[in-house]
Amino acid sequence: MSFYRKDVQRIHLEFAFKFNNGHFGARKVWRNILPRLKYHNPAVSITINRSIDQADPANLTIFYASPKDPDTAASSTPSSPAMQSKLTSNHTSFERTETINMKHKHELDVLSELMDLTKARPVAATPEAAAELQQLANEERRSAADRARNAAYTEQRRQEKALLDQARGAVGPA
């Protein structure tokens, strides 16, 4: 996914080390979504703060630079100064921030909310990547067929062994 808006300057993610108490979606965002975001948006700084306390919030904060057009600034919702000073200690000043509460949310819900807020758009796969995905799908289909064939063979061997064991048990030593 690539950001359509060029005023997105930084993304800050904060969540707990353990995933219980609503931090599982945040952890999935960190492991699955943020690497893709960074790959497609190398100029956007991404910071992560993980805490030990499970009661801490699971937030994703988006920092915007000063917008070029005035109608974008009119629709913004500035955050509290205390939060901004806490999160922007070593960074430049930002025009506004928006925060997504990720506690008890699925990673795809967070992603759709992030895409809505930043007006991001998905990046289309290149022909090479599409061909690779097609090849992986074909290999998965072949693997599923192989697994089914092996399972049937194993089941047949198990049944034959059970029949032999039953026959040997019925005759038994005299």
Question: Across the 174 residues of the chain, what is the mean pLDDT of every consecutive 10-residue run?
Answer: 70 84 82 87 88 85 71 43 49 76 88 87 85 94 96 96 87 55
Which helix H or strand E contains 14, and what residues bound it?
A: strand 8-16
Per-residue confidence (pLDDT) for residue 73, from 0 to 100: 40
Cα of 45 vs its chain's centroid, Å: 18
Per-residue confidence (pLDDT) for residue 129, from 0 to 100: 86
Which residues share a beta bridge with 100?
A: 60
Per-residue confidence (pLDDT) for residue 17, from 0 to 100: 82
Which residues share a beta bridge with 10?
A: 45, 63
Per-residue confidence (pLDDT) for residue 91, from 0 to 100: 53
Per-residue confidence (pLDDT) for residue 144, from 0 to 100: 96
The pTM assigned to this predicted structure is 0.59
pLDDT 10s digits, 81-93: 444 445 544 555 6
Q: What is the DSSP letter of 120?
A: -
Which helix H or strand E contains 46, and what residues bound it?
A: strand 45-51
